[in-house]
Amino acid sequence: MTGFFHEHVALTALNTLGIVAHARRLAVLRDEAQLPTLLADGDFCHGPRLILGGGSNLLITQPEVNASVLQLATQGIQLVADDGHHVLIDVAGGEPWHRTVRHTLEQGWYGLENLSLIPGTVGASPIQNIGAYGVEVQDRLHSLRALSLPEGKMHVFSRDDCQFGYRDSLFKQQAGRWLVLSVRLSLSRQPGALTLYGDIRQALEQDGIAQPTPLDVSNAVMRIRQAKLPDPATLGNAGSFFKNPVVDAQHAARLLADHPDLPHYPQADGQVKLAAGWLIDRAGWKGRRLGPAGVHDRQALVLVNHGGATGADILALASAIQAAVWAHYAVTLEREPVTV
């Protein structure tokens, strides 16, 4: 609609891989008061569409995205309940995730510190069920509000309704249907610290911190991520490009017999999660390039745009890595970013 959607808009700055592309039309939703205007747009509601948050989990494969693109940019964090032990907060879907994490720590609301410095927005966090260092967003989510775009109806989802899995949810499975407008998080006022992962313990030990606070954990996670992961502002990337694969116990046992140093994590269902970065590194791809697309030299899970890479270049590199890991270990790697 005139004045809301704009035609032929560059998307290069709206995806952290820095892929050069344009949207046929794009609008930015900054206030839920704009929803009636959005829902009155038949092209958006019933045609092809793409919902953007921070563009940090996105691979655009064509120079022209023939869809209506909506960037969610709503803001706001509101305390809705506080019993002295736990709080419930409502966070608008367009709020940057890391800014939200740091704000909660400033307020004395704990539980998100292990998820520090993850790029993207709050509204995207349950779609991907983001996770790091022993915590997933499902562990802290109470409920969320999402708009069904084909029907124009608002729904409230409990945590169980979201059908969370490893980097998965109902909203990812039904991509394009749901616009996550706000997320309600359940956080603690008790300052516990989850330091199960060796990287975090090592970072804290280096700082001489024996009894870490949640803020200490957040700071440690930030340093770890900054040391391993490139800044998208200087080197285009979409963070971890592959999920950590999960295999059956027998397959894991065979791999560990040959590779006892393979990082592995037994799961509650008897399967075993493997470290995709280790597999890619040992298959010989860490630091390698195929033209302008490459694998980061400090973290093999991250594919980078050295300048001028297209979505096709990134896909070709990803396919070569998947083939190599399969050839070496008979393990299938699944791509993590949404491919458009």
Q: 6-72 domain in CATH 3.30.43.10?
A: yes
* Biggest distance spanned by C-alpha atoms of the chain: 63
- Residues 58-81 have pLDDT tens digits of 999 999 999 999 999 999 999 999
pLDDT at position 1, please? 42
Catalytic residue among 25, 167, 225, 335: 167
Q: What is the DSSP letter of 86?
A: E
| Sheet containing 6-10: order of strands | 6-10, 22-29, 64-72, 49-52
77-188 maps to which CATH number? Answer: 3.30.465.10
pLDDT band at 3 (very low <50, low <70, confident <90, very high): low
Q: Where in the chain is the domain with CATH 3.90.78.10?
A: 236-339
- Residues 153-172 have pLDDT tens digits of 999 999 999 999 988 999 99
Domain topology for 236-339:
3.90.78
Q: Is 177 designated active site?
A: no
Catalytic residue among 95, 113, 136, 336: 336
The set of residues, in sequence order, having a beta carbon less than 8 Å from that of 121 and lying 6+ positions away, is 53, 54, 72, 93, 94, 95, 96, 97
Consecutive H or E run containing 221:
helix 214-228
pLDDT, the chain, mean: 93
Say if CB 231 and CB 237 are below 8 A apart: no
Whole-Å CA distances, 208 to 201, 205, 214, 324: 10, 5, 15, 41
pLDDT at position 196, please? 74
- Residues 232-291 have pLDDT tens digits of 889 999 989 999 999 999 999 999 999 999 999 899 899 999 999 999 999 999 999 999
Q: Is 167 designated active site?
A: yes
Q: Where in the chain is the domain with CATH 3.30.465.10?
A: 77-188
Its pTM stands at: 0.87
Specify the length of the chain in residues.
Answer: 340
Catalytic residue among 184, 225, 240, 282: 240
Q: Is 106 designated active site?
A: no
